[in-house]
Structure 1
């Protein structure tokens, strides 16, 4: 059954009052903002029941609040530009505004299971179409608010990773939500301070090879009980604690590695190296105590490399230990990178099928954003690229609890075994 979504309004939302940006100013980006791989769109859907709280149109409330938030976060109202003499990307503080679309859906959120997987409405219907005459990668922010017949609504967000990492984007969205609830200013004041991010010398390197992969999706929910048991087993075995994130990364990496080995192909024999990479917040390490309010990119890619036999054949606790060991080296690795201590830049990632990239959406602030109707019942991220094997850790729709692992990380030949391995953990106490 199809559900019709009708876009009713399209316009730019400019800052609602004068900003601190001098006319014609362009802002330099940090060394991390300028990492070539970050010049891409980040897409997500945020589902709100809307049954309680304030009355009125959510689209109008969010639109008005967005204009207020853009006064504080005026770079989001600008445009990315490239300097002719240096080729450097900067943010022109034009004040032109973010792209904003209003829409209605001819159904209730219950009709579409609050966009639970598999989604009954294509994401393209709930995300904003690009603004005319502006390349999508030049506009930092696009928003669509779709109102459903039940009073609920979905906020569809498209942002360019160059202007903010996940924590920064969550901080901005919460600023919009603060204004929507009537606060006189955001609870967290924004800090630009891109010059505080280290810019170590780097060896010239060719652009990464982006080989397109034929990846297939799988979404699996891990219950709190199963995660808690693995955490308890790890503590009993090592005397150390681990997080739900550690468990999800370890089990997904192990399940994928087992699938690659058992389904034949290049990984079936021998002990080929496999890699998992995730991104650690480094505000406390890079910004000299001034990280509060910083919304730019400030992370470090933590990479774990092991033999495929070791990952596939051992217990999941062994894989958790490998993940924990890599995290323990974060401070030292960041310090080395900041002074140019690596021959190969750790931000020059390898996009090959033997590498799994994991993104954690549970602690970015999106699940707490409240526009006046309560926090979202569901947040659906879309962090997928055809050259990256990706797993995104999020939460299932309320009132379900636990962790939801959304993947686009295996080719068709490996999908059945990967599904079996992931479901075995989801439906049992784990190994």
Structure 2
């Protein structure tokens, strides 16, 4: 697939309606990042949409983007170059807007396979920190048949998946000349004050943060270069595999997990499917015979867990993690209900008390004073024996509509980080689930053999 870039420009917010964006315009020249923004991954994330013709011209989408940026003004700023006081600078820098073409029909490359070719369909996510860079980068790629592919990249420290999905829906509404509703809740600087006195009830030094090991005196630049070479070599051996679980398969896994549970608990779709995938990945890695413990990192959205609940339209990050653990041999040898139960027991306690405890700890000065760093490490290439799962099943990614209906395809971009799993609703609309699983190529054949067996 040869992608030809036709133009590249900066799109700035278009304030043609003062009432359109009252929340994000106020608050001074910058907005401090919340404790949840600071603990998350310091990286750009990318998603890709495909739309069949007809679709609006690029000019209409450009105007819609400008109007949406006026409502979500933080996306049009940039991150401050200050590690002690991280913030979004409200300077209306704008978003990168790239126009490209492919001299072939979309059918020639659909459905997209997880591969480095996907990286050509959105602007580069290199750079990571977002300091001095556009926080939103968009690419519109027109195919010869008239189909449109949109690659959207956004900086994770500004907003999580839920907030990014809300922005995309707003972009579609603005492009159709409709008012953006509901408006985003842009109060990250004041919404999460620590309690007085603080009450830290959980071991956050061992979950969201950790103390990095000090480098030995003889650890020099050559050693750093060697570590980088090993990471690159590992990266080249990692592949991303897409698994399609039909509605019937998902129902079967859920029924198997729930019916065989000694507690007679009815497990959720998420608990059942993730439990199944955790077991399959662990078995495919060949860890079942050893004494290794495997840990599953699960993103937990705090919007519905905090009390009072945080509005769904809150703009920012509001995610912490649950960490179920199990000896690999035990995980694989026992039925899927065991994995689902471990997940259930780990996720349930990440409640309002846990989120409040984290706020108090992260606001206490301990992170800075002790030199702690986030366990959300975007520099990791290999997670084995551990697994990380991000579920986008409840995010409105498929609600993006520029006037001709929703997308015919949606996918996360290519992210070869061994041990990561992304869950999204199936683009087939059959009630199924797509799982994007990153593994070493040497483990993929075994995973493919067992991933449909429960």
TM over 0.5: yes
The answer for unaligned runs of 5 or more in structure 2 is 215-226
Cα offset for 1:223? 1.4
Equivalent position to 1:116, from 109, 112, 117 = 112
For normalisation by structure 2, the TM-score amounts to 0.80
Aligned-pair Cα RMSD in Å: 3.2
Aligned to 1:264: none
Is 2:375 aligned against 1:348? yes
1:109/1:367 Cα in 2 relative to 1: closer, same or farther (>3 Å)? same
- Counterparts in 2 of 1:81-160, with a 5 A limit? 81-83=80-82, 87-113=84-110, 115-117=111-113, 122-129=117-124, 138-160=133-155
For 2:65 and 2:77, the matched residues in 1 are separated by 14
CA distance in 2, matches of 1:325, 1:23: 40
Which 10-residue stretch deviates more, 208-217 or 247-256?
Answer: 208-217
Distance 1:305 1:130, change over 3 A: closer
Determine if the alignment matches structure 1 residue 247 to structure 2 residue 272: yes
Greater displacement, 398-407 / 336-345: 336-345
Q: 2:325 aligns with which of 283, 305, 309?
A: 305
1:286-334 deviation digits (Å, cap 9, x = unpaired): 4734424212100120111011111111112221222122222221533
Q: Is the 8 A contact 1:278 1:303 kept in 2?
A: yes
1:206 to 205, 211, 214: 211
* Partner in structure 1 of residue 242 of structure 2: 219
- Residues in 1 aligned to 2:45 and 2:6: alpha-carbon distance in whole angstroms: 24
Checking the alignment, whether the CA contact within 8 Å between 1:198 and 1:286 is kept in structure 2 is no
Structure 2 Cα separation of the partners of residues 287 and 78 of structure 1? 31
Q: How far has the Cα of 1:362 moved from its partner?
A: 2.3
Q: Which residue of 2 aligns with 1:67?
A: 66
Aligned to 1:413: 442
Q: CA deviation at 1:109?
A: 1.7
Q: Report how far residue 156 of structure 1 moved.
A: 0.3
1:160-184: CA deviation from partner (whole Å, max 9, x where unpaired): 100000000001111101112221x
CA deviations on 1:174-195 (whole Å, 9 max, x unpaired) are: 1101112221x21221112113
What displacement does 1:335 show? 4.5
Asked whether the equivalents of residues 254 and 316 of structure 1 are also in contact (C-alpha less than 8 Å), the reply is: yes
1:271 to 2:291 alignment: yes
1:174 aligns with 2:169: yes
Matched, 1:384 2:415: yes
Distance 2:213 2:166 in 1: 31
2:344 aligned residue:
324
Query: For 2:267 and 2:59, how far apart are their aligned partners in 1?
Result: 43
Could you tell me the TM-score, scaled by structure 1's length? 0.84
Distance 1:11 1:249, change over 3 A: same
Q: How far apart in 2 are the matches of 1:324 and 1:346? A: 27
> Which deviations, in whole Å up to 9, do the C-alpha atoms of 1:60-83 show, x marking residues without a partner?
222111111111111111111123
CA offset at residue 222 of structure 1?
1.1
Measure, in 2, the Cα distance between the counterparts of 1:100 and 1:108: 23
Report if aligned partners of 1:81, 1:138 keep a CA contact under 8 Å in 2: no
Cα deviation for residue 129 of structure 1 reads 4.7
Match of 2:251 in 1: 228
Gaps of 5+ in 1: 262-266
Q: Is the 8 A contact 1:278 1:358 kept in 2?
A: yes
Counterpart of 2:406 in structure 1 is 375
SS in 2 for 1:251: helix
**1:39 and 2:69 matched:** no
Aligned length: 405
**For 1:82, what is the secondary structure of its paired residue?**
coil
Equivalent residues of 1:15, 1:69 under 8 A apart: yes
Secondary structure of 1:196's match?
coil
SS at match of 2:46: strand
Which of residues 182, 190, 195 is equivalent to 1:188? 182
Aligned 8 A contact 2:282 2:288 in 1: no
